[in-house]
């Protein structure tokens, strides 16, 4: 049961409506007018609720479903108990997203400007904005329409933020040009100094960081992640990228479209990613690397050389997935052999 203290339930919906939303086929047309009031998991859904069943590994638990209806595939539908109405979808995961969006919405902040916000007179704020308490917006900032700037956020001088963007609580954005439909989550730091020093006479001297951060459209940057601005060139985050919490993206990095960067990944300076690169959690990248489009990097891998497009890499230092599996098998075999010798 979704907690309506935090989310708005826009239901109920009939199974006919749900079938349309999910682009699914209702197995029993006689149940088209049955009313569904909520979404729940397979284990918790009950009367007047709907669940989703798309994992073959869960076939053994399907018989325990007590929901009124279930969105599933033609292959898995026979495992549903009698009394549970099936909705057959080509892709139940996509159906889940669509129905979730139809059923629930986050409670939206009031579209006004808090009296405690400090906004420079030269800043341009688009229509229908929500500016929270203690927000600071600097000189010559431009913010598009329908934006939400949450409490305590800071937008530095000269930044441009597109339409329909959301800047989370206590996030800071500086030296940044941002596209439309972006979400910068709580506590993120965008546009801070890159980590650049030169040793002069035995001392670390800071190298001035004179670039910007350029963020495309439909980008999400997770809570407490950091994207440093460039030294001379810009740091670029391409359209549709998804950056998880606690990620470090260094100065002059360039991410192509649709990249997914999972938590605690660290990307050193001047790396270039192609489109749709996927990095598992705690991945580390040395500086000045080129990672080809479609590459997949396993969690906790360490990248020290360039990666070809479409390659699947894993390990420290990272190697191709087949080599990694061979290395793992060899080490296990060697360890077992050593154990047997000691016996």
Catalytic (active-site) positions: 251
CB contact at 8 A, 245 and 228: no
User: HSE-up of 210 (CA within 13 Å, CB side)?
Assistant: 3
Whose tokens are 């989550």? That residue is: 185
Q: How far apart are CA 284 and CA 313, in angstroms?
A: 12
Q: How far apart are CA 97 and CA 75, in angstroms?
A: 21
The DSSP result for 156-181, as a single string, is -TT-EE-TT-EE-TT-EE-SEEE-SS
Q: How far apart are CA 216 and CA 183, in angstroms?
A: 11
Cα–Cα distances in Å, from 119 out to 112, 183, 233? Answer: 13, 21, 29
Whose tokens are 């040793």? That residue is: 199
Q: For residue 253, count other CB atoms closer than 10 A to its CB.
A: 27
The DSSP result for 246-286, as a single string, is T-EE-TT-EE-TT-EE-TT-EE-TT-EE-TT-EE-TT-EE-
Q: For residue 139, count other CB atoms closer than 10 A to its CB.
A: 12
Cα–Cα distances in Å, from 256 out to 181, 216, 246, 264, 278? Answer: 17, 10, 20, 19, 11
């Amino acid at each position: 049961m979704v907690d309506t203290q935090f989310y708005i339930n826009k239901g109920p919906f009939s199974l006919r409506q749900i079938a349309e939303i999910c682009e699914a086929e209702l197995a029993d047309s006689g149940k088209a007018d049955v009313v569904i009031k909520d979404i729940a998991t397979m284990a918790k859904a009950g009367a007047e609720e709907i669940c989703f069943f798309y994992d073959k590994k869960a076939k053994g638990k399907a018989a325990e479903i007590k929901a009124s209806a279930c969105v599933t595939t033609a292959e898995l539908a026979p495992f549903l108990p009698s009394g549970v109405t099936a909705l057959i979808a080509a892709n139940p995961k996509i159906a889940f997203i669509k129905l979730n969006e139809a059923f629930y919405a986050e409670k939206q902040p009031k579209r006004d400007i808090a009296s405690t916000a400090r906004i420079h007179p030269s800043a341009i704020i688009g229509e229908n904005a929500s500016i929270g308490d203690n927000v600071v917006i600097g000189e010559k900032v431009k913010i598009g329409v329908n934006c939400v700037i949450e409490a305590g956020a800071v937008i530095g001088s000269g930044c441009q933020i597109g339409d329909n963007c959301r800047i989370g609580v206590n996030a800071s954005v500086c030296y940044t040009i941002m596209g439309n439909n972006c979400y910068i989550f709580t506590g993120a730091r965008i546009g801070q100094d890159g980590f650049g020093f030169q040793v002069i006479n035995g001392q670390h001297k800071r190298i001035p960081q004179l670039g910007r951060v350029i963020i495309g459209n439909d980008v999400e940057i997770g809570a407490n992640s950091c994207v440093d601005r460039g030294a001379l060139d810009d740091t670029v985050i391409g359209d549709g990228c998804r950056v998880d919490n606690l990620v470090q993206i260094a100065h002059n990095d360039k991410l192509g479209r649709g990249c997914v960067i999972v938590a605690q990944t660290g990307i050193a300076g001047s790396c270039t990613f192609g489109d749709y690169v996927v990095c598992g959690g705690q991945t580390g990248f040395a500086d000045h690397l080129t990672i080809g489009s479609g590459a997949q990097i396993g969690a906790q891998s360490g990248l020290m050389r360039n990666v070809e497009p479409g390659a699947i890499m894993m390990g420290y230092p990272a190697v191709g997935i087949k080599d990694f599996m061979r290395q793992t098998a060899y080490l296990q075999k060697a360890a077992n052999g050593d154990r047997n010798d000691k016996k």
